[in-house]
């Protein structure tokens, strides 16, 4: 048998337990034996596998199976969340994707509990839900900028765990991905956004100000990983300086979650022979 391109399964290589955010090597490629070329080649193949599994999930959903997948993407600006949506999620049938991105809450959203807008976007049976940012912003940006007092955000870790537990119990496999780039890599990517007219639209002057809060964000991310990595909704830490690696890694995480559902094609709800006869006679 040919040697696996992974020395360690991705779910082990990237699991958040024990990770120190401040010491993370964001340029690393944990568990993967190959280089960029090998990674890109493999990604092409694995996108097809992912797409086949997703079609089965969707087919089962159409037949009433309540199970779904939720991919939560968190990361600082330029970490590559959008690239995951385009290059990983982009390989599956869009009918089967429930995509939601969470920005600064609207006035209406602010009138509700922070989980209100999140709950509304949980994936239906058969869907892959993708959160580009999420309820974790309510213990990240909200904490770093003290948008609510500590006794409010401090309670949210347990609330979030309970919320995710309920979703998991209802049939949603939750995969949480924290993407980390280095401060230098972020500067390069922000510079590109200023150098290239096709990237201006992604540039937000506020992102530069956030760089000054890097250590605060690292601390906030550390608490997220320490307090909300659970059996039913684990965190995976993805070093993201190399885009080919982060895309491949998330593809593998999704494939792993879908394979664990052990899906079959839903059986026919009609008599096949009878339908053949009718069709032949029609």
Chain residues in the site for ligand AMP (CB under 6 A): 77, 102-105, 133, 137-138, 141-142, 147, 204
Residue 80 CB, shortest distance to Mg ion, in Å, is 12
Rounded Cα–Cα distance for residues 282 and 278 (Å) = 6
Residue 53 CB, shortest distance to ligand AMP, in Å, is 28
DSSP letter (8 states) at residue 67: -
Using alpha carbons only, give the angle 92, 95, 96 rounded to the nearest 5 degrees. 60
Using alpha carbons only, give the angle 75, 204, 87 rounded to the nearest 5 degrees. 50
| 77 belongs to the binding site for Mg ion (CB under 5 A) | yes
Residue 141 CB, shortest distance to ligand AMP, in Å, is 4
Q: Rounded to 5 degrees, what are φ and ψ at 74?
A: -125, 150
β-pairing, 68-75 with 128-132? parallel
Binding piece for Mg ion, criterion CB under 5 A, among 132-140, 159-167, 202-210, 261-269: 202-210
- Considering CB distances under 5 to 8 angstroms, the limit depending on partner class, which of Mg ion, ligand AMP, none binds residue 141? ligand AMP
- Considering CB distances under 5 to 8 angstroms, the limit depending on partner class, which of Mg ion, ligand AMP, none binds residue 104? ligand AMP
Q: How many CA atoms lie within 13 A of 21 on its CB side?
A: 22
- Considering CB distances under 5 to 8 angstroms, the limit depending on partner class, which of Mg ion, ligand AMP, none binds residue 219? none
- Considering CB distances under 5 to 8 angstroms, the limit depending on partner class, which of ligand AMP, Mg ion, none binds residue 137? ligand AMP
* H or E segment and range at residue 52: helix 36-62
Residue 38 CB, shortest distance to ligand AMP, in Å, is 31
Specify the residue for token string 């213990």: 139
Task: Give contact residues for Mg ion (rule: CB under 5 A).
Answer: 77, 204
């Amino acid at each position: 048998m040919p040697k696996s391109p992974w020395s360690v399964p991705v779910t082990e290589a990237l699991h958040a337990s024990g990770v120190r955010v401040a010491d993370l090597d964001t340029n690393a490629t944990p568990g993967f034996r190959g280089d960029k070329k090998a990674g890109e080649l493999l990604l092409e193949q694995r996108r097809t596998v992912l797409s086949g599994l997703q079609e089965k999930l969707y087919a089962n959903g159409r037949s009433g199976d309540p199970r779904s997948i939720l991919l939560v993407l968190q990361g600082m600006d330029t970490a590559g969340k959008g690239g995951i949506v385009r290059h990983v999620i982009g390989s599956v049938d869009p009918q089967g994707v429930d995509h939601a991105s969470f920005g600064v809450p609207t006035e209406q959203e602010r009138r509700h509990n922070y989980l209100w807008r999140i709950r509304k976007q949980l994936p239906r049976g058969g869907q892959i839900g993708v959160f580009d940012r999420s309820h974790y912003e309510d213990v990240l940006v909200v904490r770093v900028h003290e948008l609510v007092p500590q006794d409010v955000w401090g309670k949210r870790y347990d609330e979030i765990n309970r919320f995710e537990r309920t979703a998991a119990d209802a049939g949603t496999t939750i995969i949480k991905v924290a993407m980390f780039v280095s401060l230098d890599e972020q500067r390069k990517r922000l510079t590109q956004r200023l150098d290239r007219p096709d990237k201006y639209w992604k540039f937000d002057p506020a992102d530069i100000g956030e760089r000054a809060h890097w250590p605060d964000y690292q601390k906030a991310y550390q608490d997220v990983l320490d307090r909300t990595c659970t059996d039913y909704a684990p965190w995976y830490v993805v070093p993201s300086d190399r885009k080919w690696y982060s895309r491949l890694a998330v593809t593998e995480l999704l494939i792993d979650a879908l394979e664990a559902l052990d899906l079959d094609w839903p059986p026919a709800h009609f008599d096949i022979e009878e339908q053949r006869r009718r069709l032949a006679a029609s």
